[in-house]
Amino acid sequence: MPDTHTNLEIYKLMVEDVRDARRARRDLSNVFMTLNIAGMSALGFLASADGLPDPVLFSLCALALATTCLIWRTSNSYYTVLLAAKYKNIYALEEQIGAHPIRNEWETITGKRRTLKWWSLERAMPILFILAYLTFFAVQVGGLDVPALLIQARDSMLVLLRGWGVAV
């Protein structure tokens, strides 16, 4: 069994590891936020007051951005699970050390945090962006005309295949 000094050094490393994981999570969220803001700008560029010049391109961009938001949300969930495991290990080490500073801090804020857990900005942003894309899409398309979109997609795909010399 490690001595107290060794446990304290391990504790410091574990706390630093949590800090690094939180920093990585924040950096990843910043990348996704930047990507989605740029995506909104691109959709705005593709849109016009007279309707969509290319609804398929607009639709594909909106779908790609919504998929990016799902990946963002999944990444947030991964970091939540990862950090929970790290904190569990820290709590176990705190038991061995005999002091519980991180656990005590967590227990102090847990009541307030549980209420806000599902409403955090980090969890809400991907969903808000998806809702914004859906709204923007509905406004630009003027309602969802699925048959017209499918015909446009088919025609665009035929033009693309003909350009590659695949279709006649």
Tokens of 108: 């102090």
pLDDT, one tens digit per residue, over 79-99 is: 989 999 999 999 999 898 888
Residue 111 lies in a domain: yes
Tokens of 127: 């969903």
Residue 85 lies in a domain: yes
Residue 100 lies in a domain: yes
CA distance 141 to 55: 7
Residue 57 lies in a domain: yes
Residue 151 lies in a domain: no
Residue 93 lies in a domain: yes
Contact 52, 46 (CB under 8 A): yes
DSSP state of 99: -
Domain containing 19 equals 4-142
Per-residue model confidence (pLDDT) at position 151? 85
Q: Tokens 């410091």 identify what position? A: 12
Per-residue model confidence (pLDDT) at position 28? 93
Contact 66, 127 (CB under 8 A): no
- What does each C-alpha distance from 116 to 43, 122, 138 come to in angstroms? 32, 11, 31
Residue 77 lies in a domain: yes
The low-confidence residues of the chain, meaning pLDDT below 70, are 1-2, 48-52, 111-119, 141-146, 149, 167-168
CA distance 21 to 18: 5
Residue 108 lies in a domain: yes
Q: How many domains does the structure of the chain reveal?
A: 1
- Does the predicted TM-score (pTM) go above 0.95? no
